[in-house]
Chains A and B, each alone.
Chain A
Amino acid sequence: MSLPLHIRIAEEEFSPNQEQSELEKNYPDAGAIATFTGLVRNHNEGEPVTRLTLEHYPGMTEKVLRSIAASADERWPLLAVSIIHRVGEMAIGDRIVWVGVASAHRQDAFDACHYIMDRLKTDAPFWKKEVTATGARWIEAKDQDREARLKWDK
């Protein structure tokens, strides 16, 4: 049986509480739910950021997120994975991404959640553009994200 996935690209705010409650309710075998929330930071590279725009590749985004979750399921015994990722215009402090992993035990849930985020950062076709006092610029992919991604292959 394939892993239950709840993958959503959201144009509006989402509620981590609601998403977590869904996992708790629907997967009573879960002894652990590990989650991650990514937020729009108020600064980047030493400059204050006023807002963020998230572009994505509709179609490919969902495919890649599903495949990342499936890869996590190959490595660890999981009960369900939820990934919610916002796109469009965002304000400082907004929640960009939420990952929830339900598993029988905590180590698998923690590891899978970590893995999914590291993969998502480099493999999922989203692109951020930030607005600062000096203008708007596209954020560049970071070496540390590439390195974090590669660590999982060792």
Chain B
Amino acid sequence: MPSILFFAKLREQLGCKEVLWQELGFEANDHVSIQKIRSLLMERFPQQAELLQPGQSLAAINQALVNDEQRQIGGSDELAFFPPMTGG
């Protein structure tokens, strides 16, 4: 099943570094868009709804940034949400 991870300030505000696929109500072989996942996360974490918006948190699938909110994840994909980077 896909994994959904959070990093940095988003992780801290949500209070968890991962949410399980099943916790969002999905089955093992479901394919779901990033947009849909965000909206379910916003329902689950209403106080962080703003931080979960596409403008505020970036999405990466299998460790590559993704801009298209309609991209779907499924199988054993790794989806991660995080704030804009501040390295270097």
Contacts and interface: CB of A to CB of B under 8 A. Distances in A.
Interface of A: 38, 54-57, 59-60, 63, 85, 96-97, 117, 120-129, 138-141
A122 B83 CA distance: 11
Contact of B87 (A56, A59, A129, A140): A56
B55 to A, nearest CB: 12
B88 A120 contact: yes
Interface in B1-38: 7-9, 12
Contacts, number: 69
Given A57-B80, A60-B63, A127 B9 contact: yes
Interface string B48-88: 00000000000010011100000000000000101111111
Given A60-B80, A125-B7, A138-B9, A54 B63 contact: no
A126 B9 contact: no
A138 B85 contact: no
Contacts of A140: 84, 86
